[in-house]
Structure 1
Amino acid sequence: MPDYGHPLRFGSFITPRNRPVSRPADLALLSEEHGLDLVTFQDHPYQPQFHDTWTLLAWVAARTERIALAGNVLNLPLRQPAVLARAAASLDLLTGGRVRLGIGAGGFWDAIAAMGGKRLTPAESVDALREAIEVMRGIWNTDDTGLLRAGGVHHRVDGAKRGPAPAHPIPIWVGAYKKRMLELTGTVADGWLPSMPYLKPGDITRGNAIIDAAAKAAGRDPREIERLLNITPQESVEDIVSLALDEGISTFILAGDDPRLLERFGRDVAPAVREAVERGRARRGTATVRPARVKARSSRVPGIDYAGIPDSLADRALEPGDPGYARYTAGYLRGGAPALVLRPRTVAEVQDAVRFAARNRDVPLGIFSAGHGISGRSLNNGGIVIDVGALNAVEVLDAESGRVRIGPGARWLDVARELTPHGLAITSGDHGGVGVGGLATAGGVGLLARSHGLTIDHLRSVDVVLADGTLAHASAEENPDLFWAVRGAGANFGVAVSFEFEAAHVGKVGFAQLVFDATDTAGFVQRWGATLEAADRRVTGEIILGPGQGGRRFAQAILVVESDDPDTIVELLQPFADIAPLMQQSVVLTTYDEVIGFAVTDDEQHGFGEPHSRSGMVEHLTPEFAKGVAEILDARASYFFAIRALGGKVADVPADATAWGWRRANFTIGAFGTRNSGLDERWDTLLLPHMEGLYLSFETSRGPEVVARAFPPAHLARLRELKHRYDPTGLFRDNFFIDPAERGADTGVSAGVPA
């Protein structure tokens, strides 16, 4: 039988004895320590001297970091399939995609019956296994929103809710020896998992032939089915190499509980086998391939070397149709259909992902944190998405100085909840569901901006994976040019994998939600601007306006007052009450995490299509500007028009200190419309002449003229030089591309003059 070309894996097969109680888990830790890829356990629920295998898997999962986990094989007659599917998905989510599912049709029927299981004939047990696989895959398939009705005589669900989807497509490996079981493996399973002691000479060849024929009859490529084998310490390196090259086995699982043998297997045997198989495949011209479903192959796009996905990322990579893929078809405001989603869990894996993207640069590249990007294009159609959501740690390094380290995949609500007990906060937008990675490299206009500046003003260092896959540390002392660029134009320079901030000491704050009658829109906007500019720095706020109905328009205002004294809060808010008639008001004393989380839900994101928004900055809300706002809203060109406060501490930072250069502006403006609502024409005519710069996070227009407006001319010239240094070929080009080829070019676009 030819070599299927699957990547090699090595694992351990441990007896789950409960005396000494910790021995199986200790052997699992040794398996990980010695570099094995997989740890597996027998499953005999009727054996009182054994730990329950699923409980043991959960315990081992909590004590390990990297190694994959599986039953070998799980006793299906005593594990209800729908419940097992949910348990597997839950553990897979908790471990970040480390679960594999080895299952068997059952044996030792007297013991199974004694435990309350139903005794089945051999034929019935095969039918039951097929039904169970259908049920489990149905539970995992959350792309189908209907109730699940699946199974048959032995295992059936009728109207069950689906989910959760696992973190990755959990492979189902079947322990099979007889013809019907082998045919079932080829028809519906993801892997074949026999044990060497139960095989006679020629059984692997015969088994592969039956599996391959069944796979072809089902319209599958036989390479979709992984071939695994439980082996004994008696198998030599030469034996294992022959099994790989001549029999197609790619995963070798050592049975035994001797820690010395585990060490030898990981330290000596596995590397020797890898090297010999690599040489053998090179001689034979056998390319390494990965098992892939027919549906996935049919939707694959040119320009991506799927076979070249790094081993570190392959098991968690998602393609259309995989469980969990639906998460990447909808963000907060936009839809997508990426061809491949890579989900690194470590900095090293992010480096692997970036290097892979660099080798496949003919398709779009998105960097995904939490899916809230309006302009960031973290999702795409037909391209690669690198999801850094697993890098979500929030660590307080020194509460007294406010030093904290945060991963790009954390949400700002997670950050606030971690910092609040320490009396700390980082100003960070106005919605806690936003991911750290995008906002912390774009600017960060938040509800503490006037008292604490932008998010980037609190950044003290950042680790960035550059376009060539190397890791760079940037701070005021180390790579200062990169540190300057990341603070405002970070999406052009790499993937940030760790941030170190200096958080501010913030206690309780006043949080006001007000609704004004803004029918006199121009007058209201002008008075709001004047009042906010005159307000104490401890006050930061924003207003949201819409088209209005029935001849009236209302403005929703959000204000945060950094004070824990109710009288002071009321005093500082009082001038705002005089701007226009108040229709509703709510003022509470609360903590920053409650403020940033007030609109956050755990509901799935359902964005679709492409949002259409415009952004700009102004120093003052002048009568002319306010009149333009009113005309846009009266024409129903914008359904959501937001004016957010800058000024205060934002303006204290020199304009040339960061790539964000618009320190003179007191307000940033963002408006949503549609392609056909007339927003662009009215924006360009009525508002753009009064603006300087724009905030990239709220702009969806593309093109060099947009980039030219996003940065002051001197800033843009410097950014182009740095882009040439750090990303000369433009790998990071899908999020407001700063073209290094335009170094020295005069765009002819007026971007304003920073103060």
Structure 2
Amino acid sequence: MTPKPFTVPPELEGRIVTPGDARYRLLSSTYTTMAEPAAVLIPESAREVVAALRFAREQGLPLSVRSGGHGLSGRSSNNGGVVIDLSALNRIEVLDREARLVRVEAGARWATVAQALAPHGLAISSGDHGNVGVGGLATGGGIGWLARRYGLTIDHIRAAEVVLADGTTVRTDAEHEPDLLWAVRGAGSGAGIVVAFEIEAMELREVGYAQIVVRIDRDGHALRQWAEHMASATRDLTTAVTLQSHGSALIAAITAVVADADEPRLRAAVEPLLKIGTGLLDLHAQLAPYPALVSTAHLHPNTGQQPSTTTNGLLTAMTDDDAAALTATATLPAHPLVQLRSVGGAVNDVPADATAYPHRHQNTLVIVSTFPPHGGVELDAAWHPLAGRVDGAYTGFESRPGPEAFSRIYPGATGERVIGLWDRYDPDRILRAF
């Protein structure tokens, strides 16, 4: 049966993409999930977002909102429903250089933001890949290459422009709709469609960057070494570790970023990392402008090209047993990808109840992913030894939203407040993420 054509409102003329349109293949899916929505709407202003939301509600179809980036969980598209794609809302403006205040629309990607801010000597810590969309990351948290120095992206959001589920457009800041600002900073996907953020950037020009590859033992001693170094390291240092099993060998690839670095500071931060494990296999270090880390070369369409299933949790400290469980997971037959990200530092300066991201005492984010032909069953088996060791979770690396994930991401009083605000601003639950 041929689907009934949509009656497009005047405000959205030329802004709707349906199957058969040449643009459809590049707009229908996310990075991890192939999807077949009935229509993709591409508004270019807040007024057009209101019209798109009204159109979506009138169709009575499932609704997804996408800021244009990766969309790890896949919920930023759907099958048979309507997708509001914000990628045309991508303007970036320095509002006040002295105050380091910038306005970033939700459909921009972080590579473009970094490139636009670099001539002003400014940067925003913003994930670890240039293709990540502003809106998804800036409403979920924002654990990036500068996290220990800068904190989370949400910690520096000073205001937002939001289209609510009833079609009202509001500004939220410390004086106007402060409850909505609290929700936007960590749980924004269920409160409204954020079309723009005002964010306080940091002064930054060059960073130190090192890629280190070491062979590590299977008892986890090397991971303890890494965690102990990070616990005492300067806040300028943020690292990420990827564990890879190669036959009988276990390899750790360590990416280290030193904020606002010169050569002596880069050397001092990196040298202890070279002693981790049982042998240094590779080292590359340099000074570079921040946009080199989240490069415009990362920008690409998202067409379901990297299917995966992912979950995560946080560690306050790393015990011997924690480290051994991590290396054991990395060597399972399903070859799960195990990643460790530095938090702590400036992230933990923020009170736990200041935003909808309450995890302000942990120091390491643990992420585990499986890839086809392996899926959720293998991920659950890989995660089982770690589940009782972690505390909390981060929405950006959870591909299976639901009540169980919600309780880890928004535990206790935080979750109660999130649900209350989602129900206040979206009583019909058309934007509900979980």
Task: For 1:199-278, list aligned pairs within 5 A.
Answer: none
Offset of residue 465 of structure 1? 0.4
Offset of residue 665 of structure 1? 1.1
User: 1-side partners of 2:385 and 2:368: how far apart?
Assistant: 13
Offset of residue 299 of structure 1? 4.3
Q: 2:319 aligns with which of 622, 626, 643?
A: 622
Matched residue of 2:49: which SS? helix
Offset of residue 330 of structure 1? 3.5
Q: Which residue of 2 aligns with 1:552?
A: 249
Offset of residue 671 of structure 1? 1.1
Query: Cα gap change, 1:382/1:519 in structure 2, threshold over 3 Å: closer, same or farther?
Result: farther
Instruction: Write 1 or 2 for the structure with the bigger share of strand.
Output: 2
Q: Which residue of 2 aligns with 1:501?
A: 199
User: 1-side partners of 2:305 and 2:122: how far apart?
Assistant: 36
**Matched pairs, number:** 430
User: 2-side partners of 1:525 and 1:501: how far apart?
Assistant: 34
Contact 1:632–1:679 (8 Å) recurs in 2:
no
Task: For 1:25-174, list aligned pairs within 5 A.
Answer: none
Q: 2:266 aligns with which of 565, 569, 580?
A: 569
Give the partner amino acid of 1:471.
Answer: T
Contact 1:432–1:597 (8 Å) recurs in 2:
yes
Q: Does 1:704 align with 2:427?
A: no
1:236-287 CA distance string (max 9 Å, x none): xxxxxxxxxxxxxxxxxxxxxxxxxxxxxxxxxxxxxxxxxxxxxxxxxxxx
Q: 2:37 aligns with which of 329, 332, 338?
A: 338
Query: Cα gap change, 1:519/1:329 in structure 2, threshold over 3 Å: closer, same or farther?
Result: farther
Q: Does 1:298 align with 2:9?
A: no
Structure with the larger RCO, 1 or 2 (CA within 8 Å, 6+ apart):
2
Q: Which residue of 2 aligns with 1:462?
A: 160
Give the partner amino acid of 2:407.
Answer: A
Q: 1:654 aligns with which of 327, 338, 351?
A: 351
Q: Which residue of 2 aligns with 1:321?
A: 20
User: 1-side partners of 2:230 and 2:62: how far apart?
Assistant: 42
Matched residue of 2:249: which SS? coil
Offset of residue 550 of structure 1? 2.3
How high is the sequence identity, in percent, across the aligned residues? Answer: 40
Give the partner amino acid of 1:724.
Answer: D
Q: Does 1:607 align with 2:311?
A: no
Q: Does 1:682 align with 2:382?
A: yes
Q: Which residue of 1 aligns with 2:336?
A: 639
Matched residue of 2:388: which SS? helix
Q: 2:70 aligns with which of 367, 372, 375?
A: 372
Matched residue of 1:583: which SS? strand
Contact 1:364–1:384 (8 Å) recurs in 2:
yes
- How high is the TM-score relative to the length of structure 1? 0.55
User: 1-side partners of 2:65 and 2:376: how far apart?
Assistant: 29
Q: Does 1:719 align with 2:423?
A: no
Q: Unpaired segments of 5 or more residues in structure 1?
A: 1-296, 738-755
User: 2-side partners of 1:665 and 1:473: how far apart?
Assistant: 32
Q: Which residue of 1 aligns with 2:225?
A: 527
Offset of residue 563 of structure 1? 3.4
Offset of residue 404 of structure 1? 0.5
Matched residue of 2:211: which SS? strand
Offset of residue 369 of structure 1? 1.6
Contact 1:643–1:667 (8 Å) recurs in 2:
yes
Offset of residue 608 of structure 1? 4.9
Instruction: Write 1 or 2 for the structure with the bigger share of helix.
Output: 1
Q: 1:426 aligns with which of 105, 111, 124?
A: 124
1:183-227 CA distance string (max 9 Å, x none): xxxxxxxxxxxxxxxxxxxxxxxxxxxxxxxxxxxxxxxxxxxxx
Query: Cα gap change, 1:329/1:354 in structure 2, threshold over 3 Å: closer, same or farther?
Result: closer
1:430-449 CA distance string (max 9 Å, x none): 10111101000000000000
Q: Which residue of 2 aligns with 1:593?
A: 291
Matched residue of 2:138: which SS? helix
Contact 2:35–2:79 (8 Å) recurs in 1:
yes
Structure 1 ranges of 4+ moved more than 6 A: none
Query: Cα gap change, 1:399/1:503 in structure 2, threshold over 3 Å: closer, same or farther?
Result: same
Q: 1:359 aligns with which of 46, 58, 61?
A: 58
Say which is worse superposed, 522-531 or 475-484, in terms of deviation.
522-531
User: 2-side partners of 1:473 and 1:438: how far apart?
Assistant: 18
Q: Which residue of 2 aligns with 1:197?
A: none
Offset of residue 417 of structure 1? 0.7
Matched residue of 1:670: which SS? strand
Matched residue of 2:225: which SS? helix
Q: Which residue of 2 aligns with 1:403?
A: 101
User: 1-side partners of 2:25 and 2:111: how far apart?
Assistant: 24
Contact 1:425–1:505 (8 Å) recurs in 2:
yes
User: 2-side partners of 1:409 and 1:310: how far apart?
Assistant: 22
- How high is the TM-score relative to the length of structure 2? 0.95
User: 1-side partners of 2:355 and 2:306: how far apart?
Assistant: 33
User: 1-side partners of 2:376 and 2:155: how far apart?
Assistant: 38
Q: 1:471 aligns with which of 164, 169, 174?
A: 169
1:291-336 CA distance string (max 9 Å, x none): xxxxxx8145xxxx822x3221142211111110111244322211
Offset of residue 359 of structure 1? 2.6
Q: What do you get for the CA RMSD once the two structures are aligned?
A: 1.8
User: 2-side partners of 1:676 and 1:452: how far apart?
Assistant: 34
Look at both structures and tell me which one has the larger radius of gyration over its CA atoms. 1
Contact 1:462–1:474 (8 Å) recurs in 2:
yes
Matched residue of 1:582: which SS? strand
Query: Cα gap change, 1:521/1:514 in structure 2, threshold over 3 Å: closer, same or farther?
Result: farther
Contact 2:310–2:397 (8 Å) recurs in 1:
yes
User: 2-side partners of 1:516 and 1:610: how far apart?
Assistant: 28
Matched residue of 1:335: which SS? coil
Offset of residue 573 of structure 1? 1.5
